[in-house]
Structure 1
Amino acid sequence: MAESFIFSIAESLTVKLASRAYEEASRVVGVYDDLQELKNSLSYVKAVLLDAEQKQEQSHELQEWLKQIKLIFYDAENVLDQVDCQTLRKQVIRDYGTPKDKVGRFFSSSNPLVFRYKLAHQIKEIKKRLDKVAADRDKFGLQVIDVDRRVVHKREMTYSHVVESDVIGRAHDKKKIIKLLMEPILDNNAGYKHISVIPIVGFGGLGKTTLAKLVFNDKRVTKSFPLKRWVSVSDDFNIKSLILKIINPLSDFASSTGQQNLRDLEIEQLQHRLRNVLEGQKFLLVLDDVWNEDRVKWVELQHLISVGAQGSKVIVTTRSQSIASMMGTVANPYHLKGLSPKDSLRLFVRWAFKEGEEGKYPDLIEIGREILKKCKGVPLAVRTLGSSLFSKHDIQEWESLRDKEIWNLPQKEDDILPALKLSYDEMPSHLRQCFALLSLYPKNHHFNSFGVASLWGAAGLLPLQSKDKTMVDVAHQYLRDFMARSFLHDVSDCGTFYFFGIHDLVHDLAVYVAKDVCQLVNSNTQDISENVLHLSFVENGLPYSSIKTSLQGVRSILFPVNNQGASEAFLDAWVLNCKYLRYLDLSDSTCETLPESIGCSNLETVPKKLRKLISLQRLEITTKQSILPESDIAKLNCLEVLCVQNCVNLESLFFETRLPKLRTLEVGGCASLKSLPLDTHHFPQLETLAISGVGNEDWLHRSEDTNAVLRLKTIVLSEMVTLPHSLQQYASTLQTLVIVGCYELEVLPEWLSNLSSLKFLFMAGCPKLKSLPSDIHRLTSLQVLRIINCTKLYGKYEPQVGECWPMISHIKHTDIRK
C-alpha cells in the first residue's frame, strides 16, 4: 500500500523542534546542537515529501523510499520522547527532591552525563540515516512544495442521463425529493423564498448522483421547470466555469467556434449573459458533487442566479454536511440511506449475472446474500462486488470473495474504496492519522469521544492550539470535521462528549489506509508487521507466544471488546518489552498481579507523593482509605478527568483542594461519602458530573453563593432511587442529562421541566419509571430524546401509537425502544 501521512509526521517533528520550549528543553538535556543538525536534515527531506506522496502511486521505488523515511521519522519521534521524559524528570527532582524514594521507580535514575552521551549518539545515527536516504531525493525528480495545498483528484465529470429501469431501490427517495421541489418554502421575513436549495448528503457510493438524475429526468419535474441545467462541479467551484456550464450545458462536450467564443469572454460579459438566460425563468439547477467549503464563492453564485422566477430550485449533491448546511435552505438536508437487503440483492443479481440466468444458481445466490453483508446497503459496493463475479459460476471463487475483506480485493478507479478514499485524500494531514487509528476498533463498535481523545492524545496527534483548549476540545473539533465529511453516523451530541459509530465500509477504508501502522489482532492473525505502532486485540486466549514479540517500537495496545482483556502472560511476553508504549488499555484484564511499573487496583492506599505526576491529565482512584492525600492531588494542575470509584471507606472529598483544569468528575460506589463541595472555587472549569450509587443526596452541596454555582453542561446519574433536588441549580447551563440503570426510580421530579437549556435527554434501564413530566413541552431546547429499555414508558410513549406520544411528538429526534 502507498505510504500515507508522512508529511504530517515531518510537520509535527519540525514544529516540535522549532518550538521555544523544546529548544530550552534540549539545552537542559545537553543535545541542542545535535537536534539543530537533525532539524536541518529533516527540513531538506520535508521540502519534497508532498510531491513524493502524490507521485508514489506510479513508482514502487518511490514508495520504498518513503517507507524508509517514515521508519526514520518514527525513530526520531522516539528520541524526542526521551528528551521530554528527561526534562520532566529534572523538573520533578528540582521541585520535589531526589528520585530515590518509592515514586522514583517511575523514573530512570541513570547518570545525566551517560544519558546525554547515549542520546547524542542516537540523534547522530538518525541524522546519518536520514542524510543517506535524502541523497536519493533528486533522482525521483521531486519538486519542492512547502505547504500542504495538494489538489485531490475528484471524480470524473458526471452527466444527467439515466435509465430509470436500471435504478433499484430509490423510488421512495425520489418521491421525497420531488415533493420538496414542488412545495414552496415559507420564510417568516420575506413570504416565500425566491430560490430554495435542497442538499442530498451522504458518503461516497451511496448513490447521490443517481438519485439526482432520477429527479432531474422525471416528467413532472420537466413540466414544472421549463429551464433545467445539470452542472458537474467536482474538482472546482470556479465561478466563470460554472457560469459557462449554466449558460450552455454543452460547453464541456463540444468545441464549436461559438462556444469557444463564450470561453473567451470576460467574467463581466458572462454574468450578463447568465442573467439574461435565467431572468424570469423558473429553473431547476443541479450542482452535482460539490466539495467547495468557501461560503464566499457560493454566495457569489447565489446572487448571480437569484434573477430566476419565483419557485426556482437548486439540488446540491455533496459528501459534506457542512457544505449542505452552508448551501441548504430547507429545514434539513436530505441524508441518503443505504438500500434494503431485498433491493441490495436485486442490484447484486443484476451485476453478477446475465439477465435471467440467476435462477440456475441458487447456491451462488445464497453465498451472494452473505457477500452483501459487507456492503451494508451501499449501491457502489454492491456493484463493485457483483461485477467482479460477473459470468463466474465457480462456487469456490464466490466463497473466496465472501471470506475476503474488501480492502484485500482488487479495486478499479471507480470502485468503492477508491470512491471513499477521495474523501480521505481531501482531509488535512492531521485528520488522516486520527482517522487511521479508528481501524483499531472492531466493526460495529460504539465509540465515545473520551476514549478516542485519550488514544489520539497519547499518540501525540492533538496539539494544543491555545491555553484555553484541552486535548479533548481538539479531539471534539476533529470529530466534528469527520461528521462534516459523513464519516461518522448515529452521532449523539451529549454537550461535553459524543457517542458515535462508523459505517463498515468507512471502517474498511480506515484499515486500508492504516495498513502496516495499525493492526487488529484476532485468531486468524499469523504475523504482525515488525514496524507496527498500534495494536488492538479483540479476542481472548490468543496464542501470544506463537506471534513475533520483537516489537519494541509499539506505542499503543488496546483491548476494545468488552469482557476481553490482557492476561499476565500477555503482559510478561509483550508489554514489558515495549519501551515506547504510550497507551495501554487494561480494562477487563484477567490479571491478579501487575508489574510494579504499571500499578494495580483496589489499593490499600494511594501511592505517596502523587504530586510528582506533574503532567497527569486523567486519574482514576479506587482505594480503601477514608481520606485521600489532598495536598498531593492539589498539585496535579494538568488534571482534566478525575474518577473516584468504589472507595467504600471514603468520607469526604476536596474541602481544601482546588483543581483548576478539571473538566470531568465521576464519583460512584462511595457508600460512606458524607460531603462533596460542588462550586467554582474548587472546580472552576467543571463541565461534566457523573454520580452513581448514592443512597441520599445530603453530601451533594448546593452552593449558597450564586456566583459560585458550577456551569455544568452534562450530568450522568445511575443507580439512584430519586434524583437529587440540588441538581436543578444547573438549570440554565445543563445541556445533557443521562439517567441509566436506576432500577428503582419510579417518578421523575417536576423540576426537570425547568432545565431550559437541555438539548439531550437519555434514559435507559429504568424499568419502574412510569411517566415523563406532564409539562415536558416546556423543554423548548430539547432536540433529542432517547428512551431505551424503560418498559413502562415504551407502551405509553411509543412513536405514533402510544397514548402519550402527542406530548413528545414535537421533539426533533426521538428514539424509543425496548
Structure 2
Amino acid sequence: MSKKIKSVIEEMNSICLLVSDLLKVKTANHSSIALSRHVTIERPPTGSIVPQDRKLYGRNDIFEQTVNALTGGTYHDKTLSVLPFVGPGGIGKTTFTQHLYNDERIKGHFPVRVWVCVSTNFDVIRLTREILGCIPGTNTSTIEPTNLDQLQTAIAERLDSRRFLIVLDDMWTCKSARDWENLLAPFTTGGTKGSMILVTTRLPSVAQMVKTTDPIELHGLEPDDFFALFESCIFGHNKPRLYDDDLVNVARDIAKKLKGSPLAANTVGRLLKKNISWEYWMGILEKNEWQSAKNDDDILPSLEISYNYLHFHLQKCFFYCALFPEDYKFYDLEKITNFWIAVGIVDSSCRNDKNYLDELVDNGFLIKNSDRNGEYYVMHDLLHELSRNVSSQECVNISSLSFRVNDIPQSIRHLSITVEDKYDESFGREICKLRSVIDIGNLRTLMVFGPHDAETGDILRDAFEGIKSLRVLFIPSLPGSLPKSFSNLIHLQYLTIMPPSDAGHCLYLPRTLPRFYHLKFLDLDGWFGWECNVILPKNISRLMNLRIFILPKNSIPVFLRSER
C-alpha cells in the first residue's frame, strides 16, 4: 500500500509542476507546496510635475508640518534621513509628495532635487543610473558609467556636498537590506547634513524597512475636504446652473460611500459628469456602479494590484474577510485563525508560527489600533470593497437593509448576514427566496451578525432549513435562531453561539452537540462580563477533535447527567 501511495504522490508532483507553470505559481519547498503568483504588475510611471488643475485638498496641517520639518532643524543633525509616506492605493501619496517637491520653500532649501519612480522593479543599478541622470553637474564625463561602483562615484562627484532631496515614488519592494544599503551608499559620503529621501509606498513593511524617522500615514480626506475634491472631479472649476439642491444631496450621499479616497473621487466623478441629471445620479448611487469600472486608474482595478501582489496564503485570508461586516474589529487573533483553519485555508500545524493579521497589516490591508477593549485589527474601508469584489463568486455578506436575492450568484458557498434590531419586511421576503437561488444544502459557512428580534430569528431559522454541509456556523442567540436541521451538521468544525441578553443565568447547549465528531472550535464568549451557568449536554466528551472551548467570562460549566 505504501508503494502505491508513493507512486500516486510522485505522479501528482509531476502534474503539479505542469499546473504551476500554467498558473505561474511556484513551490515554496519540497515538503509543502505554497502557491505564490509570479505577478508582473505594470504600474504607470510618475513624475514630479503637478498637473495645473490638481489642487491639494485638505491635509494643510500635515503639509505645513512636513515642510517645516524638512526645511527647519528637525533633520539637520543627520547626513541623510529617510521619511516614508504610507497609505493604501489611491489615497493621494504621490499628489501630496508632488506638492511638497514643488513647494518654493523646498526648492530653496534643497539645491538638488531628484524624482524617480521605483514601481515594482527595485533594481539597484537601474535606480542608481536614473538618479545620476537627474543630478546636474559640471565637467561631466562623456563616458557612460557601466557598473555600480562607477555610478556611485559619479553621483558623489556630482552632488559635491550639496544638500539634496530624492523622492522614490511608488516603492513596492526591496529584495534585501543589502540592496537598500547599496542604493544609499553614494548619498552618505558628503559632509553636508540635512539631506532627505522621501519614499511613497502602499506597504507598511517597506516603510518600516527604509525609515530613519517615523513614517507619515495618509488616510482618507475629511468629509468637507473630500466633497470639495469630489465636486471638482465632476465639474472642474465651473458648476453648472442645473446643479441644484437635489443633485447636491445625491452627490453627498455618493461621497459618503467613497471613504475619503481621492482615487474614488476621480473614478466616480468621471461617471457623474457624463450625465448631470437626478435620475442618472440616483442610478449610480443605488447600483454602486463605480465598483464595475474596469479602467486601470479606476478604484478596484488599482486596489486589486495590491491584492495580486500578496502571497497566495494572504490572498485567501483576505478573500474570506469579505464575510465580516464593514469596520468589523478583529480583537482575537486566535479566533480568526480558528475560522481560517475551519474553512480550510490555514494549516492547523503552523498556527503558532504565523500571525496572518500582522502580515496583512504589513501589506497595507489592515490597520492595527486599540480601544478600551484592547488591541484590534480593522480593514481599510475601500479594501473591504475589494475583498467583497475578489470573493464575490464564493462569499457574500448580506445586509438586511439593502439585500436583493437576485444579486447573489448561484455559486455562493460562504454566506454571512448582518441584521438590524428590528424586523424588515423586504428583508423577510428576500431571504425566503434565497433557497430558490443558491443551494442551501451545500453552504460551507453561515454567519449571522447583529442582535435581532424573534421574528427575524424565525425567518432565518426557516430560510436555512436543510443545511447539512456547514464547516462554520456563527449564531448570535439560542434557541430561536438555530436551524431546524442543526442536528445534521455532522461536518461542523467551528461553532460560535452568543447567548441572548434575556437568557437569564443559564445557557443550555443543544443536546445533539456530541454528534459533531469533527468539531474543533466551540466559542461561547459572546457577552463580556456576562455571568451565567453553561449547561453542557450529556456525552460531550465524545467531541474527540475539540481543541478549543471558550466560555463566557465568569461562567460555570454544569454537566447534565441526563438529557434535557
TMscore range, shorter length:
0.7 to 0.9
SS at 2:441 equivalent = coil
Structure 2 unmatched ranges of 5 or more: 27-32, 490-494, 500-505, 526-531, 560-564
Query: Of 67, 70, 79, which aligns to 1:181?
Result: 70
CA deviations 1:463-496 (Å, max 9, x no partner) are 2454xx44xx63xx2111111122223623999x
Distance (whole Å) between structure 2 residues aligned to residue 405 and residue 478 of structure 1: 31
Q: CA deviation at 1:302?
A: 1.9
Structure 1 residue 574 and structure 2 residue 460: aligned? no
Q: CA deviation at 1:614?
A: 8.1
Name the SS for the 1:243 alignment partner. helix
- Residue 286 of structure 1 aligns to a residue whose secondary structure is strand
Does the 8 Å CA contact 1:203/1:486 hold for their aligned counterparts? yes
2:217 aligns to what? 335
Map residues 682-721 of structure 1 onto 2, 5 A cutoff: none
Letter in 2 for 1:596: S
**Which of 427, 431, 436 is the equivalent residue of 2:319?**
436
The equivalent residue for 2:85 is 200
**Structure-1 separation of matches of 2:278 and 2:512:** 66
Separation in structure 2 between the aligned mates of residue 546 and residue 629 of structure 1, nearest angstrom: 37
Question: What is the distance in 2 between the residues matched to 1:303 and 1:527?
Answer: 56
Q: What's the secondary structure of 1:316's corresponding residue?
A: strand
In structure 2, which of residues 89, 113, 133 is the aligned counterpart of residue 248 of structure 1? 133
CA gap of 1:265–1:482, structure 2 versus 1, over 3 A, is same
Higher mean displacement: 355-364 or 304-313: 355-364
- CA–CA separation in structure 1 for the residues paired with 2:534 and 2:385: 45
Per the alignment, residue 545 of structure 1 pairs with 432
1:401–1:564 CA distance, 2 compared to 1 (3 A): farther
Are 1:351 and 2:233 an aligned pair? yes
2:461–2:481 contact (8 Å) kept in structure 1:
no
Between the aligned partners of 2:135 and 2:465, the Cα distance in structure 1 is: 64
* Separation (CA, whole Å) in 2 of partners of 1:268 and 1:430: 39
Conserved 8 A contact 1:164-1:214:
no
- 2:130 equivalent to 1:270: no
Aligned counterparts, 1:787-802, within 5 A: none
After the TM superposition, which residues 155-174 of structure 1 pair with which residues of structure 2 at under 5 Å, given as runs?
Answer: 155-163=43-51, 166-167=54-55, 168-174=57-63
Q: Which residue of 1 aligns with 2:30?
A: none
Q: Within 5 A, what are the aligned runs for 1:351-500?
A: 351-362=233-244, 363-405=246-288, 408-449=291-332, 450-464=334-348, 466=350, 469-470=351-352, 474=354, 477-489=355-367, 491-492=369-370, 498-500=375-377
Q: Please name the residue that 1:555 is paired with.
A: 444
Distance change >3 Å, CA 604–CA 157, structure 1 → 2: closer
Return the offset for 1:551.
3.7
The residue aligned with 1:232 is: 117
Equivalents in 2 of 1:609, 1:369: separation in Å?
A: 50
**TM-score, normalised on structure 1?**
0.56
SS at match of 1:356: coil
Cα distance in 2 for partners of 1:605, 1:227 equals 71
2:389 pairs with 512, 521, 525, which one? 512
1:416-438 CA-partner distances (Å, limit 9, x unpaired): 21221111111001111111111
Structure-2 change in CA distance of 1:415 and 1:33 (3 Å): same
Overall identity of the aligned pairs, in %: 27
Report if the CA contact (8 A) 1:286-1:314 is conserved.
yes
Task: From 520, 525, 543, give the equivalent of 1:616.
Answer: 520
State how far apart, in whole Å, the 1-side matches of 2:313 and 2:125 are. Answer: 32
1:192 CA displacement: 2.7
Contact in 1 for aligned 2:24/2:37 (Cα 8 Å): no
> Taking structure 1 as reference, are residues 448 and 395 closer, same or farther at Cα in structure 2, changes over 3 Å only?
same
Mapped contact 1:564–1:589 kept (Cα < 8 A)? no
C-alpha separation between the residues in 1 aligned to 2:336 and 2:387? 14
Query: Of residues 169, 180, 183 in structure 2, which corresponds to 1:298?
Result: 180
Q: How far apart, CA to CA, are the structure 1 residues paired with 2:242 and 2:311? A: 50
For 2:40, the aligned partner's letter is V
- Shift in alpha-carbon separation, 1:353–1:630, aligned structure 2, 3 A: same
Partner Cα distance (1:209, 1:346) in 2: 19
Unaligned regions of 5+ residues in structure 1, if any? 1-22, 54-144, 252-257, 652-818
Relative to structure 1, the CA distance from residue 393 to residue 261 in structure 2 (aligned partners, 3 Å threshold; closer, same or farther) is: farther
* Matched position secondary structure for 2:297: coil
> Secondary structure at the residue paired with 1:339?
coil
Cα distance, 1:452–1:631 mapped onto 2, change above 3 Å: closer
**Residues 478-533 of structure 1 deviation map (CA, whole Å, 9 limit, x = unaligned):** 111111122223623999x8423223211111111111111123432225333212
Q: Out of 158, 164, 170, which is 1:289 matched to?
A: 170
Structure 1 513/649 Cα, relative in aligned 2: closer, same or farther at 3 Å? closer
In 1, the alpha carbon distance for the partners of 2:288 and 2:7 equals 46
Pairwise CA distance, 1:347: 1.5
Question: What is the SS of the residue equivalent to 2:85?
Answer: strand
Q: For residue 437 of structure 1, give the secondary structure of its aligned residue in structure 2.
A: helix
Q: Deviation at 1:387?
A: 1.9
Distance across 2 between alignment mates of 1:638 and 1:319: 40
Once the two structures are TM-superposed, the CA of residue 237 in structure 1 deviates from its matched residue by 1.3
Q: Could you give the per-residue CA deviations for residues 7-55 of structure 1, whole angstroms, max 9, x where no partner exists? A: xxxxxxxxxxxxxxxx98xx9xxx95997598368526623442499xx
CA displacement at 1:359 relative to structure 2: 4.3
Q: Contact 2:91–2:219 (CA<8 Å) still a contact in 1?
A: yes
Q: What do residues 706-740 of structure 1 show as CA deviations (whole Å, max 9, x unaligned)? A: xxxxxxxxxxxxxxxxxxxxxxxxxxxxxxxxxxx
- Against the structure 1 CA distance between its residues 371 and 261, is the aligned structure 2 distance closer, same or farther, given a 3 Å change threshold? farther
Partner of 1:421: helix, strand, or coil?
helix
- Per-residue CA deviations over 1:728-776 (Å, capped at 9, x if unaligned) read xxxxxxxxxxxxxxxxxxxxxxxxxxxxxxxxxxxxxxxxxxxxxxxxx
Gap change, CA 1:409 and 1:455, over 3 Å in 2:
same
Number of residue pairs aligned between Structure 1 and Structure 2: 511
1:434 is paired with a residue whose SS is helix
**What do you get for the CA RMSD once the two structures are aligned?**
4.0
Report the Cα distance in structure 2 between the residues aligned to 1:407 and 1:513, rounded to whole angstroms.
15
Q: Relative to 1, partners in 2 of residues 1:562 and 1:32: Cα closer, same or farther, differing over 3 Å?
A: farther
Q: Distance in 2 between matches of 1:531 and 1:412?
A: 26
| Partner SS for 1:273 | helix
Report 1 or 2 for greater relative contact order, CA contacts < 8 Å, sequence distance ≥ 6.
Answer: 2
AA aligned opposite 1:180? A
- The one-letter code matched in structure 2 to 1:268 is D
Matched, 1:596 2:487: yes
Quick one: structure 1 residues 302 and 184, their matched pair in 2 at CA, closer, same or farther if it must change by over 3 Å?
farther
> Is the 2:397–2:417 Cα contact (8 Å) retained in structure 1?
yes
User: Could you tell me which amino acid in structure 2 is paired with residue 542 of structure 1?
Assistant: G
Q: Which shifted more, 602-611 or 394-403?
A: 602-611
Residue identity opposite 1:639 in structure 2:
R
